[in-house]
Amino acid sequence: MSGIDVGRPSTWIPYRSGLCEGCWSGCCTLPVEVSVMDLVRLGVATEDEAAAGLKKLARRLEKDGIVQHFNSRSQIFTLEQRHGRDCIYLHPQTRLCTVYEKRPEVCRKFPKIGPRPGWCPAKRKAGEKEGKPGRPAPAKGTQAPGKKAPAKGRP
């Protein structure tokens, strides 16, 4: 699957079941656009804060390093990215979502929605063999896929 460029959806491959297993999490390097309800589910905002004003909430979340942009017309927030690339909730070593159970709606629906619906920027993680899906054992102190993580703060 070499030649896949996250920034060029024309290089992506058709999504199929099992493609996520052992993947490097390319979809988590795309900008993540979230609603205020996603932010509430993530625990970084309250319903009261949202009711008091989204622009004020956006300023706080930008200051806290959680969002990088707020579009007041669409009322969509864009999550901050680590080093301009990875979602702030993507674990840098395991490449697993640290908020999987609370992840935003756009993440839940990918690749049905996104820059190229039905297509995926999947690549194997280093050390993974092509055609042999499977996640490596989680690093010490991280959760195994499918296990509910204990409540924690932001990574």
The tokens describing 3, both together, are 């030649």
- pLDDT tens sequence for the chain (155 residues): 458 898 899 999 999 999 988 888 999 999 999 999 999 999 999 999 999 999 999 999 999 999 999 999 999 999 999 987 999 999 999 999 999 999 999 999 999 999 999 999 988 776 555 443 334 334 444 444 444 444 444 44
**How far is residue 99 from each of residues 8, 56, 80, 88, 116, measured CA to CA in Å?**
27, 24, 15, 10, 24
Of 80, 84, 77, 86, give the one whose Cα is nearest residue 34.
77
CA angle 61, 25, 29 (to 5 degrees): 45
Q: What is the pLDDT of residue 144?
A: 41
Q: What is the pLDDT of residue 126?
A: 64
